Structure 1
Amino acid sequence: MRLRGLAWNRRSVLFKWLVSYISVLFVPIVISGIIYTGTWHVVESEVNRANESVLKQIEQGMDSHLSGIERLGVEMALSKPLSAFIDVAQPLSDSDIYDIVGISNDLKTYKMANTYIEQIYVYYKNSDTVVSARDRGTSRDLFAVIGTEDNWGAQEWEAFFNKRYVQEYLPITITENGRVSKGVMYAKSMILANQDQPGAVLMFVVKESTLLAGAFGDSRSTVAIMDKSNRLVASTGADLPAGVSVERMQGKSGFFYEGKGDGRLAVSYTTSENAGWKYLSLVPAEIFDEKMQLVKNLIYLSLGLSILVGGLVTFLSVRRNYSPVGALVRNLMSQSGVTFETGIDEYRYVQSAFNNTLDEKERMGQRLERHRSAIRAHFLQGLLKGTAELQDSAQEALEAHGIHPVSPEFAVVIFSVEHYGKFADDGHNHTKPQKQKLVHFIIMNVAEEVAGIRHQGFAVEADNTQACIINFRNGEERDLPGMIQEIRSFMEEHYHVTMTVAASGIHEHPEGIGKAYLEARAALEYRLVLGGGRVIRYEELPRLEQTEQATRYYFPLHVEQQLINFVKSGDYARSKSLLDEIIEANLSGALPVPLAKCLMFDLIGTLLKTLDETGSAGKTAFMEQADPVKQLISCETMEEMRRQTDEVLQQVCQSIQEEHSRQSSHLSREIMEYVKAHYQDGELNVSAIGDIFKLTPSYLSKQFKAQTGEALPDYINKTRMEEAKRLLREQGCSVAETASKVGYADLNTFTRIFKKYEGITPGKYKDIQISGE
């Protein structure tokens, strides 16, 4: 076929296909559907009309019965013979039994006048007596005859009858002579003059068969009655079919379909305006299908002929119209570059679109090549953090990013710059961001080159550090420490750059790179304890089983009190000695990094708290200028934290000493001299000293504290403790003798105060001194 003819057919392809499909298939199908739908609605309307007629009859009959029951309930509730028995209590007398016979006869009369009522009961709560038209009994006898679908027990029934006022319908089951039938019970409380009396309840029982007396129709359909609480009261079937939606029954009456497949139902319903009960007719949809079978057959025949004829016409049309489509496909496949004449714009458009697609693919390839390094870096970061997608094939994922592993063994090395050397702007390691990036770039290149001599290295930025994934080559020595040392030496010799290097262990397979990175990060974090500018290998860290035992650090209360006392006195030498002992006692073991940080913050807190207790006037200026907490947070190693803590201690002691010297006076010196001269007196206290100096105890204590920074009772105790230590150490006195000589009549009081200030008992102190000699 020539190209000119091909172009004309091409322009008419869409039109011919639309005309052939719509005219041949769509029109007859739509017509058949309309006929079928109209016929279905006619049949549906007829069946629904018949169902509504049945439901109306049942509704009218039930409304009449229910109204009669409610009127009868009002009449009986006002009956004096029935009400007279309310106050009777157990045990029943002969007169009471005679009254019960009269009540039973009255109930027979009411029942005979209302034949649709199966039975009438009166339950007198006070005497627990149930009277019916046949006999009398107790509430348990009643509960044995009537029941609920929820199988109420005596407790539920009692709760029901003990309501303040009962007036409602309740679906029940009736057990007579071993046979169980369904029904509904109308319960109504009798009107009482005194509302505090137990009262009585009237019960009218109507059987299910009476309720459905007017129901008839197809044996496969179901008629059901539901009360206004949507509880099933009666049904011609065993139960309401599953899946029937009560929420859809909102109006006065209606019709809808429920369910799918063979269980599909046509549901008609009407709602009583008087009682609020719903009357349902559930007809299987297959009944409609039976009535529609002939119409279905005719429509199926029509559709079959339409599809057959339409299919033939469609086949001929498609065959005739396929020529331009085939030519287009062949042209796209062969890329022949045929130039079409005027009037074939659609084909030229398709051709241009195809060529544009190829051009776009080429441009995307070029952009991908330009961004390959960034994509590779992102992938390497994902490998380190365990977020890279390696589910299908790890080897293929690595090779897709230009990474060709030479073995399944990997390790991770992290570099953290401590000093930027030649790139630092001044001696304080302040470096511009551009220079920092340059140093990081140099480190990553040097790491890749050194690792590439025998193995493979892939460097990338990760979490503000430089990381290098090392892939060990089979048959080569795995000298990871040697490679790290070579990298550090190169950076120090050429650029004077100091680094902390953290190395992981060796792991199998690319999936182990994430674990290796976590190990390297853990090793780098230990820089806080070991200090910066060194190589930290994960294998050299304390094992997990060691660190798990260190769940707290050593800084007990008595040691903290000793430190506070030394600082309060402004004794920097003794304070620093004790502070160093505390830190060494903790760091000598495998103390985890988080606990080490907590210890240093705890020590800083103790120093600041002591400064606050002394009432030093320079505290505010010290906090504003030094800001010790902020300085401690900025420390990166434990050594820096120790230096910062020592500076804070020195400044606190200096501030306290200056405060003491500034506030010292003649009064404080006289008091101190008097205490040193009379510490042996057991009656020495603040009141006695106040009497000597003609001052009140409170004023004396306040002045002494303001001038010395120390409470007067503490100074008395400390003076006695110093003399006690001298007696124990130099004269070898016993504990009891020492206590007496320093003014303590009670040995327990002396021991307690000695331990408070010295951290140990006097006996243990003496033993230590003897063993030391």
Structure 2
Amino acid sequence: MKFNRIRFNKRSVMFTWFTSYISVLLVPIIISGILYAASWHVVESEVNRANTNALKQMELAIDNSLGGIERLSLEISLNKQVNAFINTSLPLSDNDYYDLVTISNDLRVYQTANEFIEQIYLYYKNSDTVISTRNRTDGRQLFQMLDGQTLRGYDAWKSFLDARYVQTYMPVTMKENDNSYKAVLFAKSVSLANRDQPGAVLLFVMKDTKLLANLPPSEATSVALLDKENRLVASSGLEQRPQFLTYDKFTGENGLFYGDVAGEQVAVSYTTSARTGWKYMSMIPAERFDDKMRYMKRLVYASILLSLLLGGVVTFLFLRKNYNPINLLIRSFSMKAGISFAEGTNEYGFLQDALNNTFAEKEQVDRRLHQHRDAIRSHFLQGLLKGNLEQDIPVHESLSAHDIRLSSDHFAVLLFHIDHFGKFQDDVTVDPQKVKLMQFILMNVVEEVIGSQHRGYVTEIDDMQACIFNFGMGQDPEDLRQVAEQVKLFLLDHFHVHLTVSISGIHTELFGIAGAYQEALSAMAYRLVIGGGAIIRYDELPSSEAAHQAGNYYYPLHVEQQLINFVKTGDYEKSSSIIEQIIETNASNAVLSVPLGKCLMFDLASTMLKTMNEIGSQSNKASFIEQFHPVERLFGCETMKEMKGEILSILEQVCQSIQAERKQDYSPLGELVISFVKANYAEDNLNISMIGEKFGITPSYLSKQFKAQTGDALLDFISRTRLEEAKKLLSEQSLSIMEIARKVGYADINTFNRTFKKFEGITPGKYKELK
């Protein structure tokens, strides 16, 4: 075998060595590339860091200004003149016009106080009046001055202004006196004590040039601001918006992105405002990086060329030297062993194939002898259950190959779920080996109980044991129940194992087994509602029509409000009694479905989260979730009974925590105020100011101390004290609602009705009917 005849053979060891040596040559080339990439990254990081710092400064300045505007909006909302004009309706009187002038003057003062604001508009919904610092107009004329990117006609603009609560930014183009300029509009609703009244909307107009006033001057840098709705809020140095400039492409709080602007590649540094969610972007030409990397690029190319030249010579010499011994070995082995070596064959492969032939034959025999017949049979049964039959092999051949003999073409499926492993379970854990042993015992017990009259084939699927029940003589559904009861009783008596068994309907043909398995799964899912340890037949489940007619579970609003009130006071006994009553009422409902059962339990957990949110701050709520993990604990439950236990456990811990905090913070002042309120609740002038005068302290201090000591707002406590007495009077059925309202301190029956519904969830009249 000559060297010049094999050096181009791809299967030869010569080619393998050549590839290996070339791979070694690639090491310095790769290192050079890594150094180049690292240098590029350093330059890129420095430029990006400088751009990001500039963007952060601009972001801080803009966010501070926007924060000042939001604070100013709150100050305007508290203005008495602004709030007094909300209820004014058309036509306007002389006094109304005087109020308009006063409000306009006030707006002018607010505008002067913040140089960031170009104009302020105040829109009153009730009278369709728009007041600015200069004049008065209406909603349609204001719309004509705007050209917002999201406005879709006057009706959409009117719907936007008439929304119950508005607080948003949007880019617009203002048109005033034949002049137009790009601006940002901040709209915020004026807060009202009565949410049912039509309110007002404050609109602040800011020029986009003022947004970018803090940007450092640069001829090559372009700047753009995008909001969450992918609208271009402001820009500098951009003739038109690039296609890549979309909000979704800039993931994360900050980073670097490459795009194309007018055929020129640019590097885009961006950061995200924590206040508004806006993306602040700075774009510079990518060639700035190339200018700094050209010298490094020339060095890298030179090192790569030198490595290829020197390495190629060394590779050729060592290939020739190292191939001679293996060439002599192959020639000697071919002559002495009588095995011919065909040219084009790999030398190492030739030797390895000769040695592996014997081992391969031995392994093939061992593989045939040690095939797991049971595992293959179990796989076939799982395919029957899931409807996955091999199309290339006839079914009768597969049945014969797996020793499955059928008595008829009628089938059903039984699913066995092990609720408790009994003697096989130590504390709360079960040894995996014992699990397999228990599954093996269950499989044999099921097949033994079915007996010779019928046939059963059991396999493990989805952590359950599934039995394909093949009927023999007759198709009596009671035979299925008898098998389930006998298996449950046997395992309970001998091993203390608790089972839940689900039974499907009867189906025909092999292809019906998959449908029977789905029915058994549906029946097993109903275990969530009725609990473990039962025999659940698919035919006995609530029909979908009955569940649809039932529509929902029992958890009315007034019951939820009572539960919230009891939890707020830390009364575990009453709140747990309500929860048990709710669950018992729904569990007795014959058409309660599995999804509704889950919704009910998560609704109860949601009520506790809502209560924690009302009695404390967001940090307290986060601490509650982190400490008790209510959602994870409910997801870990398999039945409503387990969910009920988890909810009551969480409820007890919450009530204990509330009671402990109140005992720790409670003081004589809170006790004195409580006693005074209970003795004088019938006085219609009972309020925080009156109580403050009684105890010689300011109303604000009194309210703050009462909240800190009792965990309850003083006004809410006064209302609840009055409502407790009102509920007693409503139960007597002798007095009218007006008389009851006056007896508990409400001179206005509308106020009484509104307060009663807020705390009890229903009106006094409805409450009286229920009693």
Distance 1:389 1:544, change over 3 A: farther
| Structure 2 match to 1:450 | 449
Question: What are the equivalent positions in structure 2 for 1:76-475 lying under 5 Å apart?
Answer: 367=368, 370-389=371-390, 393-425=394-426, 428-475=427-474
Residues 421 and 496 of structure 2 are in contact (CA less than 8 Å); yes or no, is this contact kept in structure 1? yes
Q: Quick one: which amino acid aligns to residue 646 of structure 1?
A: L
Residues 424 and 430 of structure 2 are in contact (CA less than 8 Å); yes or no, is this contact kept in structure 1? yes
**Equivalent position to 1:645, from 635, 644, 647:** 647
Distance 1:392 1:435, change over 3 A: closer
Q: CA deviation at 1:678?
A: 2.1
> Which range moves more in the overlay, 748-757 or 546-555?
546-555
Q: CA deviation at 1:693?
A: 2.7
In the alignment, the residues of structure 1 paired with residue 582 and residue 607 of structure 2 have an alpha-carbon distance, to the nearest angstrom, of: 13
Q: CA deviation at 1:731?
A: 7.9
Residues 501 and 534 of structure 2 are in contact (CA less than 8 Å); yes or no, is this contact kept in structure 1? yes
Distance 1:384 1:582, change over 3 A: same
Residues 454 and 476 of structure 1 are in contact (CA less than 8 Å); yes or no, is this contact kept in structure 2? no
Question: What are the equivalent positions in structure 2 for 1:728-767 lying under 5 Å apart?
Answer: 728-730=730-732, 732-767=734-769
Residues 386 and 513 of structure 1 are in contact (CA less than 8 Å); yes or no, is this contact kept in structure 2? yes
Number of residue pairs matched? 417
| Structure 1 match to 2:135 | none
Q: Quick one: which amino acid aligns to residue 444 of structure 2?
A: N
Q: CA deviation at 1:400?
A: 3.3
Q: CA deviation at 1:456?
A: 0.7
| Structure 2 match to 1:490 | 490
Residues 558 and 756 of structure 1 are in contact (CA less than 8 Å); yes or no, is this contact kept in structure 2? no
Q: Quick one: which amino acid aligns to residue 449 of structure 2?
A: V
In the alignment, the residues of structure 2 paired with residue 411 and residue 368 of structure 1 have an alpha-carbon distance, to the nearest angstrom, of: 34
Bigger Rg, which one: 1
Q: CA deviation at 1:453?
A: 2.9
Q: Quick one: which amino acid aligns to residue 668 of structure 1?
A: G
1:620-674 Cα deviation digits (max 9, x unpaired): 7765554333322221111011111111112212221222222221111221222
In the alignment, the residues of structure 2 paired with residue 731 and residue 450 of structure 1 have an alpha-carbon distance, to the nearest angstrom, of: 65
Question: What are the equivalent positions in structure 2 for 1:710-725 lying under 5 Å apart?
Answer: 710-725=712-727
Residues 412 and 507 of structure 2 are in contact (CA less than 8 Å); yes or no, is this contact kept in structure 1? yes
Residues 410 and 513 of structure 1 are in contact (CA less than 8 Å); yes or no, is this contact kept in structure 2? yes
Q: CA deviation at 1:387?
A: 1.2
Residues 614 and 656 of structure 1 are in contact (CA less than 8 Å); yes or no, is this contact kept in structure 2? no
Residues 561 and 760 of structure 2 are in contact (CA less than 8 Å); yes or no, is this contact kept in structure 1? no
In the alignment, the residues of structure 2 paired with residue 498 and residue 731 of structure 1 have an alpha-carbon distance, to the nearest angstrom, of: 53
| Structure 1 match to 2:500 | 500
Question: What are the equivalent positions in structure 2 for 1:669-684 lying under 5 Å apart?
Answer: 669-684=671-686
> Is 1:707 the counterpart of 2:709 in the alignment?
yes
Distance 1:422 1:392, change over 3 A: closer
* 3-state SS in 2 of match to 1:370: coil
| Structure 1 match to 2:43 | none
Question: What are the equivalent positions in structure 2 for 1:680-695 lying under 5 Å apart?
Answer: 680-695=682-697
In the alignment, the residues of structure 2 paired with residue 728 and residue 534 of structure 1 have an alpha-carbon distance, to the nearest angstrom, of: 46
Identity %: 55
* 3-state SS in 2 of match to 1:494: helix
Distance 1:603 1:662, change over 3 A: same
In the alignment, the residues of structure 1 paired with residue 642 and residue 455 of structure 2 have an alpha-carbon distance, to the nearest angstrom, of: 36
In the alignment, the residues of structure 2 paired with residue 648 and residue 403 of structure 1 have an alpha-carbon distance, to the nearest angstrom, of: 52
Q: CA deviation at 1:579?
A: 1.6
Structure 2 alignment gaps of length 5 or more: 1-337, 339-356
In the alignment, the residues of structure 1 paired with residue 421 and residue 452 of structure 2 have an alpha-carbon distance, to the nearest angstrom, of: 26
Q: CA deviation at 1:462?
A: 0.5
Structure 1 alignment gaps of length 5 or more: 1-341, 343-355
In the alignment, the residues of structure 2 paired with residue 704 and residue 382 of structure 1 have an alpha-carbon distance, to the nearest angstrom, of: 68
Q: CA deviation at 1:502?
A: 1.2
* 3-state SS in 2 of match to 1:374: helix
| Structure 1 match to 2:513 | 513
Residues 505 and 519 of structure 2 are in contact (CA less than 8 Å); yes or no, is this contact kept in structure 1? yes
In the alignment, the residues of structure 2 paired with residue 714 and residue 367 of structure 1 have an alpha-carbon distance, to the nearest angstrom, of: 81
| Structure 2 match to 1:561 | 561
1:323-379 Cα deviation digits (max 9, x unpaired): xxxxxxxxxxxxxxxxxxx9xxxxxxxxxxxxx99x989967982883332221111
Distance 1:469 1:557, change over 3 A: same
Residues 547 and 593 of structure 2 are in contact (CA less than 8 Å); yes or no, is this contact kept in structure 1? yes
> Which range moves more in the overlay, 663-672 or 682-691?
682-691
Distance 1:495 1:641, change over 3 A: same
| Structure 1 match to 2:606 | 605
* 3-state SS in 1 of match to 2:456: strand
In the alignment, the residues of structure 2 paired with residue 578 and residue 516 of structure 1 have an alpha-carbon distance, to the nearest angstrom, of: 40
1:677-734 Cα deviation digits (max 9, x unpaired): 2222222222232233333333221211111111111111111112222333348222
| Structure 1 match to 2:630 | 628
Q: Quick one: which amino acid aligns to residue 402 of structure 1?
A: D
| Structure 2 match to 1:533 | 533
Q: CA deviation at 1:580?
A: 2.2
In the alignment, the residues of structure 1 paired with residue 480 and residue 391 of structure 2 have an alpha-carbon distance, to the nearest angstrom, of: 26
Residues 612 and 620 of structure 2 are in contact (CA less than 8 Å); yes or no, is this contact kept in structure 1? no
In the alignment, the residues of structure 2 paired with residue 586 and residue 574 of structure 1 have an alpha-carbon distance, to the nearest angstrom, of: 19
Q: Quick one: which amino acid aligns to residue 423 of structure 1?
A: F
In the alignment, the residues of structure 1 paired with residue 753 and residue 517 of structure 2 have an alpha-carbon distance, to the nearest angstrom, of: 56
In the alignment, the residues of structure 2 paired with residue 618 and residue 462 of structure 1 have an alpha-carbon distance, to the nearest angstrom, of: 44
Residues 460 and 466 of structure 2 are in contact (CA less than 8 Å); yes or no, is this contact kept in structure 1? yes
Residues 459 and 465 of structure 2 are in contact (CA less than 8 Å); yes or no, is this contact kept in structure 1? yes
* 3-state SS in 2 of match to 1:548: helix
* 3-state SS in 2 of match to 1:728: helix
Q: Quick one: which amino acid aligns to residue 603 of structure 1?
A: L
Q: Quick one: which amino acid aligns to residue 684 of structure 2?
A: G
Q: CA deviation at 1:468?
A: 0.9
In the alignment, the residues of structure 2 paired with residue 533 and residue 383 of structure 1 have an alpha-carbon distance, to the nearest angstrom, of: 27
| Structure 1 match to 2:581 | 581
Q: CA deviation at 1:481?
A: 0.8
Give the alignment's Cα RMSD to 1 decimal. 3.3
Residues 390 and 397 of structure 1 are in contact (CA less than 8 Å); yes or no, is this contact kept in structure 2? no
**Equivalent position to 1:660, from 659, 662, 667:** 662
Distance 1:722 1:477, change over 3 A: closer
* 3-state SS in 2 of match to 1:467: strand
In the alignment, the residues of structure 1 paired with residue 382 and residue 362 of structure 2 have an alpha-carbon distance, to the nearest angstrom, of: 28
Residues 505 and 539 of structure 2 are in contact (CA less than 8 Å); yes or no, is this contact kept in structure 1? yes
Residues 410 and 508 of structure 1 are in contact (CA less than 8 Å); yes or no, is this contact kept in structure 2? yes
Q: Quick one: which amino acid aligns to residue 448 of structure 1?
A: E
In the alignment, the residues of structure 1 paired with residue 476 and residue 602 of structure 2 have an alpha-carbon distance, to the nearest angstrom, of: 45
Distance 1:690 1:366, change over 3 A: closer
Q: Quick one: which amino acid aligns to residue 409 of structure 1?
A: H
1:192-215 Cα deviation digits (max 9, x unpaired): xxxxxxxxxxxxxxxxxxxxxxxx
Residues 687 and 697 of structure 1 are in contact (CA less than 8 Å); yes or no, is this contact kept in structure 2? yes
In the alignment, the residues of structure 2 paired with residue 511 and residue 666 of structure 1 have an alpha-carbon distance, to the nearest angstrom, of: 77
Distance 1:664 1:365, change over 3 A: closer
Residues 410 and 475 of structure 2 are in contact (CA less than 8 Å); yes or no, is this contact kept in structure 1? no
